[in-house]
Each structure stands twice: as C-alpha cells, then as structure tokens.
Structure 1
Amino acid sequence: MAITNYRFAKQRSLHRLQGRIWLSVSLSAALSGTALPGTAQTLDSGFEDSIPGLNATIPEVLTTTRLRQPKTRVPGSTTVIAGDLIRDLGIRSLYEVFRLVPGMVVNFVGSHQPVVTYHGTVHYEQRRMQVLVDGRTAHRATLSDMDWETMPVPLELIERIEVARGPNSAAYGINAFLGTINIITRDPADSANLETTVTSGSRGYLRTFASTGNADSSYDWRLSFERRKFDGFDYQVDDDERFPFNDGHDINSFIYDSRLTFTPGTNLELQGGVVDGTKYQDKDKSGELNPLDHPDIDVRDYYLQSKLNHSFSSEHFIHLQASVENFDRRQEYAISFPDSTVECLRNNTPLYEYTYTAGGRERRCFISQGGPDAFAVVDADSEDTRIELEAQDTLIVSDSLKLVSGAGFRKDIFRSETYFNGRGNNYQSRLFGNLEYSPWQWVTFNAGGNWERTSTTGDSYFSPRAAAN
C-alpha cells in the first residue's frame, strides 16, 4: 500500500492519524474481499472472525480447498461475491457478475455469445476453468464450452459466488488450471415464500422471475421459473437507418430445489431443472459456413442432482453426491456455395486455402467456374450427457487440524454427426484431499492434491499443493 507523502510539516501529526485510519480500512477491505459484512456464517471453531477495531467479519470460503475456512487461511487468491451485492448493483445477466473479479475478462464472440476467462484471451473454447453450481459441474468438457446465456441460475437465487483465482487443480483436477467458479444457491428454507420480479427495457429486453415454496421440520422445497428474452445488442447503421443483428435469446427455465430431513444429522438434497428456448444466431456474425438464413440454436437441457449429507458428530461428516446433466443443441441451416467447391471436396482440397493472383488473395474453393451454385443443409446438432458421482469426507481432528478427502467419477457421453462423427465417451476418475494445520493463530499450513485419470489421453495426472499463510 502506498502512503501519500504530505507537504506540510505542521500537519504531520494529523496526517499520521489519518494514515492509521486508512490503513485499518484497507486492511478490512483486503481481508473481507467483495463480500458484504455480516453475510458469512460464523465459524464453529475457536477462530476469532472479527477484525480488531472494526465492525467487520472475515468471510468464509468453501471452494478453494473444499474445507470451510476463513478467508485469511485460504491458500490462494479467492473472491467472494455475496448474492445481495449482485442484486443491489442491479446486475441483470449472470456473466456480468464476473466483471467484479480482479483479472476476469468478460466479452463476446460471434453472434453476441458471452465468454468469461481469467487472464487469457477471449475465444470460443473456454478451456481450463472449472464452473460449478452447488458442486455440480456446469462446464461442457466435450466442446470446451461454457454457455452462460442458458445456465438455469436466476440471480434472485444466488447466495454467494466464490472464485478461486488461478490454478486450483489440486482440488478440482486439470480442468481448473485457470481457476474455479463455484455458484452457491440459496437454501430452500431461506426462500419459502412467494416472490416475483418483472423487468423490461429497450431492444426487447424482458426478464420474468417467480418463485414459491414452503419449509417445515422435515421437508423444505422451492419451485422457480425464469424467462430471459432479449432481441440483441448490436446493430448497424446504413443511410441513417438501423438494421439490427439477430443476436438475442429467448430462454425459459424451471428449477426445483428441496431438502428432506430424516434425522438431525442426516438429510437429502434434491435438485432438478429444465431449460427450453432459442439462442438467436445472426448469419453474418455467427461464424458458420455461409448460411442462407439465421442459424438459430434450439436449446433443450435438463439436470437432476441428489446429495446425501450425514454427520457422525460435530467433528466428522460426509456427503455423497450424484448428478446427471444433458445439454441438447439443435441447429440446422441451409448453405450455398459455388460449384467448384464440390470438386474441392472430392479432391480433398482445403475449403479455405487461398491462391494469390494479380488481383489479390482469393479462396480457391469459392471461385465460381460458371456452373450453378450448389446447396446443402448443415446438421450441427450436438448432445452432451454427463453422469457424475462424488464422495467427500471431512474430519475436524481439532480446532487446529482439519482433513478433507474424497473420490469422484465422471462419464461424458457426446453425440453429433458433425462434430464427433457419431457417438463417443470420456471417463474421468479422481482422488483428492487437503490437510489444514494451524499450530498458532497467525499461521496456517495447507497440503493436498488431486490425482486423476482420464480416458481422453489415457494418462494419469497428479496436481499437488503446499502453502503457508
């Protein structure tokens, strides 16, 4: 922290006092991150979670090591964004939230397709960044894609978002090389009422949200609906007349969350959701192969998730989680091309290879030979299904020694005649663990790692971590 040098010696004592005040405020901001004061839960251990001299609370972090830790003990840069802060700022799209995270880049590619990356270029394939929703993987590994527009996560249901900035492969595997985003939704018992929101704006923007539920001693549930409609952002001007692009969306999602309580130490969480709608794709911006009309994408997604939580005692508890997700994209569009392209396809000549003439550079396979244009229909349908299992054990030996360990298995099934020439499977198995040791109040050691084997490469990988705070 740089401290301003003051010019007048006669005010030196006053400036010293101001410097102390600003130092305390800066310390508070550094420790509490972007979370609102008082939003975090209080630690059960003997850790003093207040900052001396200030009315602030150090937030807890669950994502970085899979252990509940105060932010000062987390072995890595982590940003915590409270759901109340998102709503107070008036943010209307999930991907816009990550503009609040240092180092995150939020931009658009193609036909207004949002992408979120960390310290990297903005491109179609958002690789090496893990995205979780209540512990369920939301990243489409088969196409290295993260579809932020269709995620069934209404802003009203977000409790908090934790972003582990930088490599977190030691907890979540090689796909978390750039970082990990964990979106944690509100407990059904905290929203057991009727809630509605309707927001409209220019360019056909309309967002509708409704939620209802109930809570009692044995069964908490919530049913939510959200519709997001937008005609698109970009347009071009020609002779003072606006011509909008076809780059909006119309997405509907139904979400069910519940918790069944069997005993004070055992409960079962059940979640499910359906997404239905259309992502509009402009024929001049989508990047597709010369479509005759807008190659819109029909979305038909669903997910089911269950999580069994059991506490043997206040110091030892486990969870068993199982989920299945299906991402279904339907996209067919007609194209036309010169007849010479057919010959190029027959001769295995690259369609986008260039030739250089006196007039400049031309694409070889798009030079008309005088014959009629050829027409075809492109089938760009794709479907991904993910089956995921995870078991995690947490043991609190003492206030200074904590251990988390577990295992996971994931199967990805992909189907597409265009992208995969049919059907295929990927398998991933992994073991993970982390040990936290705090011999004194002012120092914490973390040691752990993740071992995984993937059928994509047929190899095994180990990602270790050792840190001292």
Structure 2
Amino acid sequence: MSLGSTSPHSPLVLALVFSSPAMADDLFLDSEPLPQVLTATRLKQSPAAVPGSMTVLDTALINASGARDISEVLRLVPGMMVGNISGNQATVNYHGTSATEARRLQVLIDGRSVYRAGLATVDWSDIPVAMEDIERIEVFRGPNTVSYGANALMAVVNIITRNPADSHGTRLKVTRGQRGIDDFYASQGVGWEDGDLRLSLSGQQDDGFDTDRWGGDYHDGRRLKRFNLAVSQALDERQSIEWQVNAKDGTNQRPYTYRPVFSGITRAGDNSDVSAKDYAGSLRWNLDLNTEHSLYIQGSAQHWDRQQTWRACDAEVSFSPELSELWQLNPNYTERLARNIESFLVSGAPDADPTQRALANQVLDQWRNGARRTVCGDIDQSTRESRYDLELQDTLSLSDNLRLVSGLNYRYDRADSETYFNGTLDDTTWRAFGQLEWRASEHWLLQGGAMFEDTQLIGSSLSPRMAVNYLINPRQGLRAVYSQAVRSPDMFENNVNWSYQVTHLQPGAYGQSSARYFVKTRGPGDLDQEHMRSRELGYNGYFAESGLAVDVKLFYDEITGMISEPLRNNQYIASNANSARYTGAETQLDWKISSADRLRLTYAYVDADASNLLDAQQTAGNSGSAAWLRDWGHGWNSALFYYADDALNGYRFERLDTRIARRIRLGKTHLELAGVLQQRLDNQPTSFVDNNYDERRLMYFSAQLAF
C-alpha cells in the first residue's frame, strides 16, 4: 500500500462502485437493525443520517489492535494526525495545526470533557480509563461546536466505556514486553435486582524512547495506576441514575531541557519529572417521561494535579531587578545582551533609547562586580486545575418526522500555578444548544442546530450548522453540510502570567534566598475567538448482506483569527494574525467478508495552506491504515495492521503490527494468550528529532483470565 501514490479522487470512485442499484434494492428487504451513533448531534442516528463524518472504533477492533493507549487506536481514524512529543506525551490532532497542544480537539469520556482549559492540552497518557474498560470510541470528524462548544473546532473524540451490566464477572490481565512494558488490569463486575457495578484497577509502565538526537538516554518513561468505579441503578420503570468515580496516580519522566542563558554556567540537574494525579466523579439522572420524551441532568467534578520541580543554575545577574525591568521594556534587546554579555563588556551596551541603555550599563556593571558567579536554586512548575460541570438535556419527538434535542450547560474552570498564572485564574462558561431533525420525506432529511456560548474571560459566540441528507434508502445517504464554529482562547494563551520564582538559592542572589528570574511573559489579554467555516460533501453506505460499510468525505475548511504561537516562556506573543485552509478527501471501508474475516481500510488526503509554517508542518498530505482481522477457529485469531503517513513534522511514519491470540476454555474460566509484534518500516524519528528507538521492532505479550 503506497500512500504517496494514491489519488485524492479515489473516494469518488469508491462511492460510485459501492452505490450500485442492485445492492440498494436488496437493502430495502433487509430487516437487520440499523447501527446507531450518538456523538454527532446527541440524537441516536444511523450513520447515513448523520450531518457529518463518523468513525466508530468498536471493541473487536480495539482489542485486535493490541494498542496500549487511546492515542494509538486513533491511528485508525482517517485524517487523524498521531505523533509523540516524548514517550509519555502523545499528540493527536485532526488534520493538523499545533503539534504540542490539542487546542482544537474535544475529548470526552462518556460525555465528560477531559480537555484541560488551563494549559490548552489533553494528557493522553493520563486519561483515567483503561483500554479494557472501553466499549467503543466514536469520532466525529469535523467541527461540532454546535453540540459540544469551543474546542470541538475540528473534531470530537468520545470514549464510551462498557456498561456495568455488560461487565459481570472477574477479569485479570498482565502484559509484559520490551522497552520496559509492564501493565496490569483487574476488574470485578456484579449485579443485583435493579443495578450493576464495575470496579477496575489498572496500571501501565514503559521506558519511552531510547535515545535523543545525541545518543543519550531520553528519560521519558512513565509509571501510572488507575482506579475506576461505575454504577448504574434503576429507580423505577422511568428513572435511573449512573455514577462514576475515577482516579489516576503516576509519574511521567521529562527530559532535562533547561539551558543556562549566560555563558560559562553548567547545567545542574538531570530530573524534571512530573508527578501526575487525576480525580473525577460524575452523576447522571435519566428520566423517560414517555416513549417520545426524555431528559437527563448530569454533574461532574474533575481535578488535575501536576507537580514538577527541578534544580537549575545560572548567573546571579539572572535575578537582577534592572535586567528584569529591561526585559519588560524590550525582550529582544535583553536577550541579545544576556547571550552576548562578555562581548558587550568590551564594546559597551548595544544601542537603544537612553532608558534601556542606562539599564543595560547597570547590568554590565553588576556583571563586572561579581554577578557572573553561579547560583543554583529550585524551580517549581507545578499546576493544578479543577472543573465543575452541570448539564441539562431534553430530547423530544415532536412528531413521527420531527425530533428536537436542546439543553443548557454550566462550567466552571480554575487553574492554579505560581509559575504560569502567578496565582489563580478562573473562568465561567454558560451554554445553550439545540438541534432539530426533520424528515421532510422518505428520502430527504433536513437538520439544523446552534450553540450559544458565553465565557467570562472572552465573551459570547454563536455556532450554527445546517445539513441536508438524501437517503437513497435507510442504509445509504448523501450529505451536504455547512457549519460555522468558534474556538475561544484558553487561559494560557490569553492570560498567561509566566515567571519563575527560584527558591533555596545557593549561595544566594543579591542577598536573597528566593528571587524572580528576569524572563517574564504576559498574555495579551485581548485575544479574539478563532472562526472556522466548514463545507462538506459526503456519502455513507452500509450493505448488510455483504457486511460492507463505506464512508466518503470531501471537505473545505477555513480558519481565521488563528492563534498559532507555541506556548513558551521566551517572547511568547500570541495574536489572531494567522489563518489556515484545509481541503481534501477521506474514505473509510469496513468489510466483514465472512464470519471469519474482516477487512478495514482508511485513507486521507489533506492539503494544508497555513500562514504559519508550523501549522502546515503538522499535517501529513497522505495518511491511512489497513487492517485484516481473522478468526481461524479452535480459539485462534490474528490481526494485521498497517499505519502510515508521508510526513508529519517532516518525518515519515510507517509501521506494521501483528497480533496473534489463542483463547482457551478451562471449565467456566477463559484464558486468552496474545502476542503483539510492531515493526517500523521506516528509519526515521517519531514526530521530533529526539524521539528514537534503538531497535525498530517491539514485542509484548499478554495473558488474560475471565471468569
């Protein structure tokens, strides 16, 4: 399978081939239930009726992939750009844009957002859910702020966990392999007359990448443990409650990247690891007023705690009040002075206005008088974030051909960091949303919706969407979708107040044991929202007799007012000055050839034209996957997966995964033994130059007992 040679027009050919009249006629006679998805509009719909493109990764596919992380499974989603910042920091974006933050991707667990608004990111490794607890992952590929608000600008990933009623019994699983892989999973599910419960404990461990660009240890392993408790309880024939409690505790290693600004100073530390703790709880009350009317109220609370400290050394002049004042006046001038201070001792302070030159000369005098000496201290880059969310949703069938979903949402976000915010910053968000579905005739389906959102820090916005679906029959449909979406700047982008208070200074700086480092970064405070206009044409078809599902998408997306600057404490100047355009085509094919064989293919062609070159670098022009799942009988099954993209951040990715498993029945107990072999077919780093493995081959094995 050569991705580079695939034509972007191939999805159109697939649509024509698989829409033959003969197959369409057979479908009218088919009595098999239609598959349903929920994430697109919050209404249960067949894929052919969805106002956009959906990818559903089911349990069989997730298990067969052998993936240990959610980010790895998302390689099976066409157009999803999956890479790594380090071994324990995955990066996932739809169609591209920022590589290091998921600024434009909404990620949900059972409808609860795990996107961290404070630092504009999703911690994929720290999501407190085990792969074994996932029932399926629904991905809406396209803007969906209509249903989920800001950050659903380009796509929505909804991770849906197994219902406790489907989790009865005991499961025990261990996984061991190369690169320090050492995972475990244990769950217990029980039920009673009107309720069910699932308790699971899990853990992950591995060593990350082997070497950086210079051949040194990259120091990016992870160690984590998770706790999950899910309970569902029927109160009567019309009411039920569901509640969950999740917790995660672990350590993510971080490469020591601090480099002294002033010459002649040596680095002091080798550890900037992060201690990560996550806590979450949610409660949902469901009420069916009648067969045509239902509602729910859901509340959730989440807390993210990241503790990160390290030791650093620099010149005493780093804490000079005059140097700090000069930085506030002219960061470029100050950086040039700091990095060339020895040469300026001879030539004098560089040219500037009188005030800046006077401050520069004072700094040079301090350097001459001994402020060049080395001082070392502790840096604390810890953060804490909390979120409280309350949502009411009402679903009503107004008639046989008219359905309405509407709701209200309140969210409170709080970020606490002495380094990033010089204390605490909070934000309040109110939302009102609605989606109307009208079956105008047997074949025509019209849909429209909007989300009104008001945030304390940014202001209000309105995101509309309109779609027309032509249903050739209940299982096949053509669609045309137009939507407008917005993304509000996050706390960090707009309101960062970034500076380092260095403590336990030895031997002390200017007579103090604690002082502020001279570099200070402030957010602009007046950023506007990003705006996106999206146009989509597509086809979705499901042929039950042949077990074939096909989806084709043509898209044209434009983003204006784009915030593209990376989050860094060195002249971070965020603005709405950038823009990007993404055009192309995607297709996915899932074919259950027989009861024993399943074939799955995806392909995406994305043409990115961005005013900021960094945004364009994070887009692979050609990417895709291929999978073959086979049940050999007698308990044996196998899976073969191929993943590739032609250039993500300039590096090609191509990998072949093989999983072979044997299921053995031991009385009432089932034992499954499985082995996974991953073979990189390229010889390049993963996403960034420092992400390297000594060997391109990885093997790990698992054993699972279920009883």
TM-score scaled by structure 2?
0.56
Question: Do structure 1's residue 274 and structure 2's residue 250 form an aligned pair?
Answer: no
Query: Which residue type is aligned with residue 268 of structure 1?
Result: I
Residue 334 of structure 1 corresponds to 311
Q: CA deviation at 1:325?
A: 0.2
Q: CA deviation at 1:184?
A: 0.8
Q: 1:276 to 1:27 in 2, by over 3 A?
A: farther
Which region of structure 1 is more displaced relative to structure 2, 210-219 or 317-326? 210-219
Distance 1:198 1:145 in 2: 30
Distance 1:387 1:20 in 2: 45
Please tell me whether the aligned partners of residues 58 and 137 of structure 2 are also in contact (alpha carbons under 8 angstroms): yes
Question: Do structure 1's residue 78 and structure 2's residue 78 form an aligned pair?
Answer: no
Q: 1:375 to 1:85 in 2, by over 3 A?
A: same
Q: How does 1:422-441 map to 2 (within 5 A)?
A: 422-441=423-442
* SS of equivalent residue, structure 1 residue 432: strand
* SS of equivalent residue, structure 2 residue 319: helix
Residue 468 of structure 2 corresponds to 468
Query: Which residue type is aligned with residue 280 of structure 2?
Result: Y
Q: How does 1:174-323 map to 2 (within 5 A)?
A: 174-236=150-212, 243-284=216-257, 292-323=269-300
Q: CA deviation at 1:445?
A: 0.7
Distance 1:26 1:226 in 2: 50
Residue 381 of structure 1 corresponds to 382
Q: CA deviation at 1:207?
A: 1.2
Residue 515 of structure 2 corresponds to none
* SS of equivalent residue, structure 1 residue 171: helix
Distance 1:224 1:103 in 2: 33
**Structure 2 unaligned regions, length at least 5:** 1-8, 262-266, 344-349, 351-359, 470-707
Q: CA deviation at 1:83?
A: 2.2
Please tell me whether the aligned partners of residues 429 and 455 of structure 2 are also in contact (alpha carbons under 8 angstroms): yes
Q: CA deviation at 1:4?
A: 13
Q: CA RMSD in A?
A: 3.4
Q: CA deviation at 1:154?
A: 1.0
The one of 126, 140, 149 aligned to 1:164: 140
Distance 2:59 2:237 in 1: 28
Please tell me whether the aligned partners of residues 56 and 136 of structure 2 are also in contact (alpha carbons under 8 angstroms): yes
Please tell me whether the aligned partners of residues 87 and 209 of structure 2 are also in contact (alpha carbons under 8 angstroms): no
Please tell me whether the aligned partners of residues 260 and 313 of structure 2 are also in contact (alpha carbons under 8 angstroms): no
Distance 1:162 1:231 in 2: 30
Q: CA deviation at 1:159?
A: 1.2
* SS of equivalent residue, structure 1 residue 194: strand
Q: CA deviation at 1:353?
A: 2.2
Distance 1:287 1:83 in 2: 46
Distance 2:47 2:107 in 1: 20
Question: Do structure 1's residue 23 and structure 2's residue 1 form an aligned pair?
Answer: no
Residue 452 of structure 2 corresponds to 451
Residue 397 of structure 1 corresponds to 398
Percentage identity across paired residues of the two chains = 36
Q: How does 1:33-182 map to 2 (within 5 A)?
A: 51=27, 58-109=34-85, 112-182=88-158
Distance 1:237 1:94 in 2: 27
Distance 2:159 2:147 in 1: 16
Please tell me whether the aligned partners of residues 51 and 57 of structure 1 are also in contact (alpha carbons under 8 angstroms): no
Distance 1:342 1:171 in 2: 49
Q: 1:282 to 1:466 in 2, by over 3 A?
A: same
Distance 1:373 1:177 in 2: 47
| CA deviation string 1:179-199 (max 9, x = no partner) | 111111110010111011111
Query: Which residue type is aligned with residue 292 of structure 1?
Result: G
Residue 10 of structure 1 corresponds to none
| CA deviation string 1:380-430 (max 9, x = no partner) | 111111000000000123342111010000001111111111112100000
Please tell me whether the aligned partners of residues 111 and 282 of structure 1 are also in contact (alpha carbons under 8 angstroms): no
Which region of structure 1 is more displaced relative to structure 2, 308-317 or 437-446? 437-446
* SS of equivalent residue, structure 1 residue 246: coil
| CA deviation string 1:306-334 (max 9, x = no partner) | 00001011111111000000001111111
Please tell me whether the aligned partners of residues 111 and 281 of structure 1 are also in contact (alpha carbons under 8 angstroms): no
* SS of equivalent residue, structure 1 residue 189: helix
Please tell me whether the aligned partners of residues 51 and 58 of structure 1 are also in contact (alpha carbons under 8 angstroms): no
Q: CA deviation at 1:122?
A: 4.2
Q: CA deviation at 1:89?
A: 1.6
Residue 406 of structure 1 corresponds to 407
Number of residue pairs aligned between Structure 1 and Structure 2:
429
| CA deviation string 1:347-401 (max 9, x = no partner) | 43349823698x99xxx99998773212121111111110000000001233421
Query: Which residue type is aligned with residue 205 of structure 2?
Result: K
Distance 1:235 1:27 in 2: 57
Q: CA deviation at 1:158?
A: 1.1
Q: 1:21 to 1:142 in 2, by over 3 A?
A: closer
Q: CA deviation at 1:177?
A: 0.9
Residue 45 of structure 1 corresponds to none
* SS of equivalent residue, structure 2 residue 108: strand
Residue 36 of structure 1 corresponds to none
Please tell me whether the aligned partners of residues 327 and 384 of structure 1 are also in contact (alpha carbons under 8 angstroms): yes
Please tell me whether the aligned partners of residues 83 and 155 of structure 1 are also in contact (alpha carbons under 8 angstroms): no
The one of 354, 372, 384 aligned to 2:336: 354
Distance 2:35 2:143 in 1: 21
Please tell me whether the aligned partners of residues 330 and 382 of structure 1 are also in contact (alpha carbons under 8 angstroms): yes
Q: CA deviation at 1:174?
A: 2.1
Query: Which residue type is aligned with residue 250 of structure 2?
Result: G
Q: CA deviation at 1:22?
A: 5.6
Query: Which residue type is aligned with residue 463 of structure 1?
Result: S
Query: Which residue type is aligned with residue 62 of structure 1?
Result: L
Q: CA deviation at 1:133?
A: 0.5
Q: 1:237 to 1:396 in 2, by over 3 A?
A: closer
Q: CA deviation at 1:291?
A: 6.2
Q: 1:130 to 1:274 in 2, by over 3 A?
A: same
Distance 1:287 1:53 in 2: 70
Please tell me whether the aligned partners of residues 223 and 251 of structure 2 are also in contact (alpha carbons under 8 angstroms): yes
Please tell me whether the aligned partners of residues 336 and 374 of structure 1 are also in contact (alpha carbons under 8 angstroms): yes
**Structure 1 unaligned regions, length at least 5:** 6-18, 32-47
Distance 1:428 1:327 in 2: 19
Distance 2:194 2:12 in 1: 58
Distance 2:12 2:387 in 1: 55
Please tell me whether the aligned partners of residues 283 and 291 of structure 1 are also in contact (alpha carbons under 8 angstroms): no
